[in-house]
Amino acid sequence: MSFAERGYGGSGGFGFGYALTPVVKRLLIANAAVFLVTFTIGTDTAVDWLAFQPGRLLSRPWGVFTYMFVHGGFMHLFLNMLALFFFGPALEVRWGSREFFKYYVIAGLGGVAMSFLFAPQAVIGASAAVYGVMLAFAMNWPNTPIYIWGIFPVQAKWLLGFLFVASVLSAFGGSGGGVAHFAHLGGLLTGFLYLKMDWRVPEALEQVKTSTRRARRLAIVPRKDEDQVERRGSVKTGWSQAEERKMLDQVDRVLDKISDRGIASLTEQEKRLLDEVSRRRRTN
């Protein structure tokens, strides 16, 4: 598997390049290190302590996370890390390291959750998380050609479509073969839902918070005065533009405090601020 074009243009395009990003590099190293430990202490011991095991969910809860770093053999590890190497860096560059790692873990957790619901058995491997990464790549660059065996070009969207159909048929068709098909399907579905529901939660919360602040502020500062501040910098209160802005910021902090702790938590100085602002607006 290889790309005709591989790289990460800032404009949203896909150019040529071979940069290995920080989180992808650490994930590759971590998976390789765990594999070496597994090889040293034995697969059975590693699986016993690090795999996700439904029967030991309460006694070894860390398995829901550590299972993503345990692999049953070299080819299992190699194929997962090869896909992560190809598909991961572009996403990390676009999203940032923290968001990429969060998405990777959530896709992995979604995989183990679906496996637990439909086929409760021991699960190991990074496949669910990697399937989620491949899905996100296809959603961002659907027409990028992926060369299967370095020969046959397939657009990313069609490759992921094939993987999804294969996962559904294998999971519900009873084709086990020691492969956690429900985990693969869970990684795909969790990644899709997470992306479609706007996974940039901090940005969404900040927008809600800003809207709420403005609505509450208008209860004290009338809209026409607020709009005047936006257009001309200040209203005719005898305050400069800087003073006006400082006052509005102070009002925001006081309103946040009322929202968190109630009006009884206000100090005398904060009460005077609200009274002063209301008085000046009424007399203006």
List active site positions.
127, 184
Q: What separation in angstroms does the CA of 62 have from each of 23, 53, 66, 76, 193? A: 21, 10, 6, 21, 24
- Contact criterion met (CB below 8 Å) for 72 and 124: yes
Q: How far apart are CA 182 and CA 151, in angstroms?
A: 30
| 8 Å CB contact between 135 and 110 | no
Q: Is 7 helix (H, G, I), strand (E, B) or coil?
A: coil
Alpha-carbon gap, residue 137 to 14, rounded angstroms? 11
Yes or no: say if 144 and 73 are a contact pair by the CB < 8 Å rule: no
What CA–CA distance (Å, rounded) separates 144 from 16? Answer: 12
What string of H, E and C letters represents the secondary structure of 186-211?
A: HHHHHHHHHHHCCCCHHHHHHHHHHH
